[in-house]
Chain A
Amino acid sequence: MNDRTENLLLALPGILLLGLAFFLPIAQMLLLSISGPEGFTLAHFVRFLSDPYYLNILWRTVRLSVLITVICALIGFPLAYIMTKVGPKLRLGLVVIVILPLMTSVVVRTFGWMVLLSRSGIVPELLRDTGLVGRTFALMQTEAAIVIGMVQVLLPFMTLSILGVLTRIDGKLEEAARTMGCSFLQTIRTVVLPLALPGIVAGSLLCFTLSASSFVTPNLLGGTRIQVLAASIYKSVTATPDWPFAAAQAVILFVGILLVLVPYIKLTGAKHG
């Protein structure tokens, strides 16, 4: 047996699983999205793309996902950097704190945010009592609530992706940069950031895809008025039910994510050589 067939054999279970659990449903979804009462049709796509209501949902999904990803990176990078500099015990503690949201159920987590963000919740009350805002308002059922809730869930993916790369950077490089005239921030910009780029890219990909396709948290925190695409798909399946239209929306979501990711990978990949 040569190397090639050996590799193929080893990869076989994975390929089979992917084929059955991923490619097959995707193919089915594609077929479903272009099937009408009398055969092939693009009507579902036309319906989606010509309706401002749905276009708004698509735009909101992309916009919020980008925002959530950027915020995750802005919090995750410094957090991961600090984790590499502290002792092993404190680092473990920080890792546990960061992944804690993933260990609680989505219902409990979201309920917690409701307590904090609703009209009589702690955060709006606090803002009013300290005089930062004039009147009570609700943070619930806003895009802000979705962003806050999603950042909490996705931060571990970003932080741990970056942490994995940062721990492999030789600390001597930062010291060398300091002896060559870099201040602390210049060292971060010229040495740490470029070397952490693969981790930031990987974390961003995870955050973006997960937030674009997430549905429970945005639905609970954003309410029915502020819908994202995944929630709209769910509604099409359960309320109407209109399976081909749901499939068309899913295809659009899929293609939309690819359209954002492919240039992003190309761009950052090329820069990093």
Chain B
Amino acid sequence: MANVRLTDIRKSFAKTQVLHGISLDIASGEFISLLGSSGCGKTTLLRMVAGLESVTAGGIEIDDRDVTSLPPEKRDIAMMFQSYALLPHLSVSENVRFPLRMRGIGSREEQQEKVAAALETVQLGHLSERKPRQLSGGQQQRVALARAIVSQPKVLLLDEPLSNLDARLREDMQVELIEIHQRLGLTTIFVTHDQEEALSLSDRIVLLNAGRVEQQGTPDEIYNQPATSFASNFIGSANLVPVEITDSAQGPVAKLEDGQVLHLDPNEAIRGKATLALRQEDLTLSANGMGLKAKVRTRVFLGARNRYVMSLAGHPLRALTANDLDFANGQEIALAIDPARIRVIAD
């Protein structure tokens, strides 16, 4: 267990700068998620903490010790690679035992006990004698996870550890991760581009956008108070609608590009050009009720729910509804939203 401190980390590959000054303070035992779209620099940042990538500028401390120029093997970390990186010439159990063996942790019997326990955790005890190439992608991923947790390092670095699992197994593994974290209290940096996963697992989420920290906070803060339009669009896939906010007799109103108006919360302070973030699940659709006029473009059946894609003032707008609501393509419908659920972001 150890804290991790990143100070103004920058990274350039040849001429392109990938990370533009990232500072993070990670408390001992914290479970932190790096969340961001593909190519935003999550893996690069993780590799720098691991010591696999040189630091262009900035400093890294683990356990209050400067490790910026320390090689990976001296950092007491464990990393799970996006591509698993299982050693093909070793069996599953030998792979999981590898970090214990190389670090000289415990006797042979203790090592084997730990390996068995780690494999049990990821539900792979029965495959311990196989070679990695005889496993499915999801099974390989779980072996990699077992190998990462087995040595109980100071810092656990996980690069999209659950990306290749089916929905059911993924939920199981998420629960396992939470339990492992509660049991061992390892400082964990978890990389994902799945916002739900980040929301359900982390103590804190760090939202990255093009090599910068866009916003950080608890899952609740990130979800309910997105600070920027990028944050609100990325988390909860909110619809972003450009508007102009003016005062009226009934309080502030937002005027859409096609002239329709939407009443806002009376306490709303922002005026002028702004962006409204409308959550998909907050929109209420009706065939001929009150509200904004929108046109249905398509319906996507999601099982428990329907997603309607509409067009509002020329922009696509997505809404999640109960699956018994049935509109035809091209139909004009009314769209209502509780003013308290509207998030206004100043431009």
Contact = CB atoms under 8 A, between A and B. Distances in A.
A176 B102 contact: no
A178 B87 contact: no
Interface string B84-106: 01011100000000110011000
A175 B85 contact: yes
A240 interface: no
Interface stretch (B69-77, B171-179, B183-191): B69-77
B73 A179 contact: yes
A179 B147 CA distance: 11
A194 interface: yes
Contacts of B72: 175, 178-179
A186 interface: yes
Given A175-B72, A180-B102, A195 B81 contact: no
A178 B88 contact: no
B302 interface: no
A180 B94 CA distance: 13
B102 A186 contact: yes
B151 interface: yes
Contacts of B79: 176, 179
A173 B73 contact: no
A190 B94 CA distance: 12
A181 B85 contact: no
Interface string A191-230: 1001100000000000000000000000000000000000
Interface string B46-82: 0000111000000000000000000111000111010
A176 B71 contact: no
Nearest to A184: B71
Contacts of B89: 194-195, 272
Tell me which of A173, A176, A186, A195 has the highest count of chain B C-beta atoms within 10 A of its own C-beta. A176
B151 A176 contact: no
Given A176-B79, A176-B81, A181 B87 contact: no
A180 B52 contact: no
Interface in B131-179: 131, 147, 151, 157
Contact of A180 (B51, B71, B103): B103
A135 interface: no
A170 B157 CA distance: 20
Given A175-B72, A176-B81, A183-B73, A191 B87 contact: yes
A172 B89 CA distance: 14
B103 A178 contact: no
Given A178-B71, A180-B99, A182-B102, A172 B151 contact: no
Contact of B73 (A170, A172, A181, A191): A181
B85 A173 contact: yes
Contact of B98 (A170, A180, A194): A180
A177 interface: yes
Contacts of A186: 102
A181 B73 CA distance: 4
B83 interface: yes
B87 A175 contact: no
Tell me which of B71, B99, B147 has the highest count of chain A C-beta atoms within 10 A of its own C-beta. B99
A183 B74 CA distance: 9
A177 B131 CA distance: 17
A182 to B, nearest CB: 5
Contacts of B131: 273
A197 to B, nearest CB: 8
Contact of B99 (A181, A183, A195): A181
B81 A180 contact: no
Contacts of B81: 172, 175-176
Nearest to B82: A172
B73 A178 contact: yes
Nearest to A194: B89
Given A182-B102, A183-B73, A177 B87 contact: yes
A108 B83 CA distance: 50
A172 B85 contact: yes
Interface in A139-177: 170, 172-173, 175-177
A192 to B, nearest CB: 11
A180 B83 contact: no
B102 A173 contact: no
B102 A179 contact: no
Nearest to B104: A181
A194 B98 CA distance: 14
Contacts of A180: 73, 78, 98-99, 102-103, 147, 151
A153 to B, nearest CB: 32
Tell me which of B81, B99, B102, B157 has the highest count of chain A C-beta atoms within 10 A of its own C-beta. B102
A44 B79 CA distance: 66
Contacts of B85: 170, 172-173, 175-176
Contacts of A190: 98, 102
Interface in B98-116: 98-99, 102-103
B118 to A, nearest CB: 13
Given A179-B157, A181-B73, 16 more contacts: A170-B85, A172-B81, A173-B88, A175-B72, A176-B81, A176-B85, A176-B87, A177-B98, A179-B77, A179-B79, A180-B147, A183-B71, A184-B71, A190-B98, A194-B89, A273-B131
In the A-B complex, the 6 residue pairs with the closest CB atoms? A176-B85, A180-B99, A181-B102, A181-B103, A178-B72, A172-B85
